[in-house]
Amino acid sequence: MSILIQPKEDYRCASYARQSLDKNKVYSATVATNQPDYAEKGLVFCGDYLLDKNEYTIVSPNAEHWARLRRDYPAIEPTN
């Protein structure tokens, strides 16, 4: 499932091949269902980065999308 997120910090990697994340931009992320405890930790993949629920803000999902997120991934809560 894809969601729109905004990272709380800038993320950059020493490898130039890896795209950076800007805390002032919004990105599409995928819930990290292949990770242990992904629902409890609110884990998402944003590009090559694995972020937990304390490292991003969800950006305005619609009501139907939000209901599905809350049902399937209870650790993912809105902060705005």
Return d(Cα 54, Cα 28) in angstroms, integer.
17
Average pLDDT in the chain: 83
Q: Using pLDDT thresholds of 50, 70 and 90, give the confidence band for residue 22.
A: very high
- Two tokens at 64? 């139907």
User: What pTM, to 2 d.p., does this model score?
Assistant: 0.75
For each of the domains in the chain, give its residue range(s) and CATH number, in order of start: 2-72 (2.30.30)
pLDDT digits (tens, 9 = 90+) for 46-69: 988 999 999 999 886 666 766 777
Distance CA 52, CA 72 (A): 16
- Rounded Cα distance between 3 and 9, Å, is 18
Which tokens go with 71?
Answer: 């049902």
pLDDT tier, 71 (very low <50, low <70, confident <90, very high otherwise)? confident
